[in-house]
Amino acid sequence: MADYPFDASVNNRFFFAATGMDPDAVTKIVRNGLAKADGGELYLQRTQGKSISWSDGKLQSNSSSMDQGFGFRYIAGDAVAYAHSNNLSEKSIANAARTTRDIRNHADMMGKIALPSHGANRIYTGESPLADMTEAAQIQLLGEIDAYVRAADTRIVDVSAAISTSWDIVTIIRQDGTRLDDLRPMSSLNISVVAEENGRRETGRGSLSSRTILTRMFNAKSWHDVADKAIKQAQTNLRAIAAPSGDMPVIVANGWGGVLLHEAVGHGLEGDAARKGSTVFKTSMIGQKVAADCVTIVDQGDFTEARGSLSFDDEGVPTQRNVLIENGILRGYMQDTLNARLMGVAPTGNGRRESYEHAPIPRMTTTYMEGGKYTLDEMIESVDRGIYAVDFSGGQVDTVSGSYVFASTEAYLIENGKIVAPVKGVILEGNGPKSMGLVEMVGNDMEIAQSGSCGKDGQSVPVGIGQPSVKLRGIRVGGTEPS
């Protein structure tokens, strides 16, 4: 797509013309307010959203939302003062600037943060997904999805589907007065299926999300693929047998299987965890081996129209391809400007926030493992007895130790190099860094799953998750099969 900057007319209309604020006056407030700071910015945001949901064969809800406001951040040393308000006025911003700069009296100043000049590419169009597909057309599509899923199997007793759209209008004014404008679309489809047989109920789910408008995201194949995934998962789980337990080889599927990588490894590679020493990936380990030779892990925020992508992060730093682990060697971390300065490295475009009410912190964008040379069939054939885990639900991770527990919602038993049956109740237990050392085979089927959200410090942001199929040896499986 085209280079930046965006046409700022939309931002000007909502943040300045509609509020009576003068852009030059606001920029002056920011420059004066942050003149003696080590860093900071003014973050203006307007978010419009819409959600239409369908369940029990009928429309369930149809809601719209709008929120707008600003956040003002003042950085002094390693201390951060943050003020936010939904009152978009010069007076309110000036009050925030005065309030936050009091922190400099209680912090050791370290020198201004050096921000890169803006060189980002536009990786989404900025069109509003709230305007391109009528409400009636969305409701009709949800009805078509319901009919399609029910026709696939008479055992399906309920279908839930939802279409969600949002449009973020963002303006960032940095410490030096540089202004950056962005228009961030998001469109999402979520489908959940319940199937019942002989009194047993099982569920399946599928989802799709992208930074684009609905008419570009939706086609017959795209929503059929999401529905088919949910149908197959519910059908599979109806015939699932009890899962075995013990230490055994595990193949984690491509795409959404990367959620284990995201949670058990990714958070430990964020700059704040590294700086504070609250991760097993210590800064002293840079350049050292922390995973198998076949493991390369990347965080990349500039995929075109990807759910986790941003043209620039919430501090105004362009996103990029950031190699974290290369051929098993620790190379670096995901950085915002604050932690990058304190660690003496460059920011990587990973400063993200949930909204104007939150200060930015280091966060993942699209985190994935690069592909290898093996086919999935070759991996399965190499296993005498083990598990093929396809989909996951909730899990728990201790980012300090790297220990994790994950529940698989779709998994299969492998015996003598063949998949023999679906299994239910698979729990994977292990340690993220140690698991990366147990990787034996990396597939040639790398896929990015565009459906993730990530929570940290009370903030949720959209992310992408991905990997090829990966075989690990000796993973602890907690199953439901009687001993």
Query: Looking at residue 397, what is its pLDDT?
Result: 82
Query: Looking at residue 451, what is its pLDDT?
Result: 84
Query: Environment class of residue 23 by beta-carbon count within 10 Å: exposed (0-12), middle (13-18) or buried (19+)?
Result: middle
Residue pair 443/379 in contact (Cβ under 8 Å)? The answer is yes
Query: Looking at residue 220, what is its pLDDT?
Result: 75
Residues facing 45 on adjacent strands: 69, 170
Helix (H, G, I), strand (E, B) or coil at 354: coil
Q: Where are the domains of the chain?
A: 9-238, 241-478
Query: Looking at residue 2, what is its pLDDT?
Result: 47
Query: Looking at residue 483, what is its pLDDT?
Result: 47
Backbone φ and ψ for 274, nearest 5 degrees, come out as -65, -45
* Reported pTM: 0.94
Query: Which CATH number is associated with domain 9-238?
Result: 3.30.2290.10
CA–CA gap between residue 4 and residue 23 (Å, rounded)? 19
Strands in 283-433 per DSSP E: 297-300, 321-326, 329-330, 351-352, 361-362, 366-369, 385-397, 403-415, 418-424, 427-431
For each of the chain's 483 residues, which pLDDT tens digit applies? 545 456 799 999 999 999 999 999 999 999 999 999 999 999 999 999 999 999 999 999 999 999 999 999 999 999 999 999 999 999 999 999 999 998 777 666 566 556 666 566 789 988 999 989 999 999 999 999 999 999 999 999 999 999 999 999 999 999 999 999 999 999 999 999 999 999 999 999 999 999 999 999 998 789 999 999 999 999 999 999 999 999 999 999 999 999 989 988 999 999 999 999 999 999 999 999 999 999 999 999 999 999 999 999 999 999 999 999 999 999 999 999 999 999 999 999 999 999 999 999 999 999 999 999 999 999 999 999 999 999 998 778 887 888 999 999 999 999 999 999 999 999 999 999 899 999 999 999 999 998 889 999 999 999 999 999 999 999 999 877 654
Longest dimension (CA), the chain: 72
CA–CA gap between residue 203 and residue 190 (Å, rounded)? 13
Tokens read off for 100 = 């936050």
CA–CA gap between residue 171 and residue 66 (Å, rounded)? 17
Tokens read off for 481 = 């099969």
CA–CA gap between residue 444 and residue 312 (Å, rounded)? 30
Compute the radius of gyration of the chain from its Cα atoms.
Answer: 24
CB atoms closer than 10 angstroms to residue 232: 17
Tokens read off for 411 = 């998994």
Query: Looking at residue 298, what is its pLDDT?
Result: 98
Residue 337 CA, chain-centre distance (Å), reads 20
